[in-house]
């Protein structure tokens, strides 16, 4: 159902939480994003994620018992190539979402349901140290070595959005995330670290003809894992996000984040070129926002360009 007048407080809360919660916008835990790959590699994959949990709100709001149940689906494609002799990649993710959110506003039960296409993402990554561009044959012969890379993720306002609704799936703004990442192999073990920041443009068509802006969200992640055999690995992760306070027409909301998450990811080959992955994560510290438990199931197919 839509938002009633008596539920304005809950709607305003969900307006800031729904898009970010659907993709754990600032708190994603995705190991091996800076691991090297040979040039000419193509990846295509599909994933399903289920998030559920409590939502921690500003104590001054007359809102309590907030619960979220969010289903997200995504299709992704990544291609690796050589740029100035360095290994690079370009990827795109097309998400969709179905969400049910509920809570009590001044002791009145309220529910909100939303669904549709989410904001598309484009990610460019470039290796700077330790991973020159190599063919699959040369890459297979190289010994593992530390590498340092950078990336830029762009989130485009392609998701379902109606300015007459206070709660939307899409954000109706552009977002950018520059990031730096380190990958360090050590025998069968691997360690990774990354740090970046989400930067947001202003939504000039927010509910009621207002303008909504958001401060940057600074992120950091640490990963450690073990490779059992080629394509089969297990990794643990912890991530932290700080910032992200929103403002409407220049009036700041009390929703600055200072949250941490932890999780596990297991990946295994299932057929020639195919692999499957399962990931679980949970909130470690949640100051404001969704204290979500999540599970993700994904399948991926990999192939090499025929010319290589």
Token readout for 191 is 């360690």
Q: Is the dihedral angle over the CA atoms 175, 30, 263, 97 positive or is it negative?
A: positive
Domain spanning 5-304: which superfamily? Autotransporter beta-domain (2.40.128.130)
> 163, 84, 75, 85: which is closest to 121 by C-alpha?
75
The pLDDT value recorded for residue 221 is 95
Q: Per-residue DSSP letters for 266-302? A: EEEEEETTEEEEEEEEEEEE-SSEEEEEEEEEEEEEE
Number of CB atoms found within 10 A of residue 85's CB: 8
pLDDT under 70 in the chain at which residues? 1-28, 55-64, 104-108, 289-290, 307-308
| DSSP-assigned letter for residue 5 | G
The pLDDT value recorded for residue 64 is 67
Segment 22-31, tens digit of pLDDT:
334 555 678 8
By the 10 Å C-beta count (0-12 exposed, 13-18 middle, 19+ buried), 6 is classed as exposed
Segment 147-172, tens digit of pLDDT:
999 999 999 999 999 988 877 888 89
The pLDDT value recorded for residue 290 is 67
The pLDDT value recorded for residue 22 is 37
- In the block, tokens 């600032």 appear at 26
The pLDDT value recorded for residue 7 is 39
Contact criterion met (CB below 8 Å) for 27 and 49:
no
């Amino acid at each position: 159902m839509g938002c009633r007048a008596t539920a304005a407080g809950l709607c305003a809360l969900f307006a800031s939480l729904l898009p970010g919660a659907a993709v754990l916008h600032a708190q994603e835990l995705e190991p091996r994003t800076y691991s090297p790959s040979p040039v000419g590699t193509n990846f295509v994959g599909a994933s399903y994620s289920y998030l559920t949990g409590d939502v921690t709100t500003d104590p001054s709001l007359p809102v309590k018992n907030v619960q979220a149940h969010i289903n997200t689906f995504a299709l992704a494609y990544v291609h690796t190539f050589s740029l100035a002799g360095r290994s690079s990649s370009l990827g795109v993710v097309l998400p969709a979402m179905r969400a049910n959110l509920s809570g009590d506003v001044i002791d009145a039960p309220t529910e909100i349901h939303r669904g549709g296409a989410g904001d598309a993402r484009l990610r460019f990554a470039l290796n700077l140290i330790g991973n020159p561009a190599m063919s699959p044959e040369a890459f297979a012969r190289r010994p593992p070595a530390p590498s340092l890379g950078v990336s830029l993720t762009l989130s485009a306002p392609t998701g379902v959005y109606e300015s007459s609704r206070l709660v939307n799936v899409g954000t109706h703004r552009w977002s950018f995330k520059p990031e730096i990442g380190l990958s360090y192999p050590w025998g069968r073990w691997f360690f990774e670290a990354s740090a970046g920041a989400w930067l947001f443009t202003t939504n000039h068509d927010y509910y009621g003809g207002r303008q909504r802006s958001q401060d940057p969200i600074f992120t950091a992640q640490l990963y450690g894992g073990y490779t059992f055999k080629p394509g089969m690995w297990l990794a643990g992760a912890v991530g932290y996000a700080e910032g992200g306070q929103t403002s409407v027409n220049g009036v700041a909301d009390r929703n600055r984040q200072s949250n941490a998450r932890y999780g596990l990811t297991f990946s295994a080959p299932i057929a020639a070129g195919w692999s499957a992955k399962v990931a679980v994560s949970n909130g470690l510290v949640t100051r404001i926002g969704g204290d979500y438990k999540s599970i993700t199931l994904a399948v991926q197919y990999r192939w090499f360009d025929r010319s290589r």
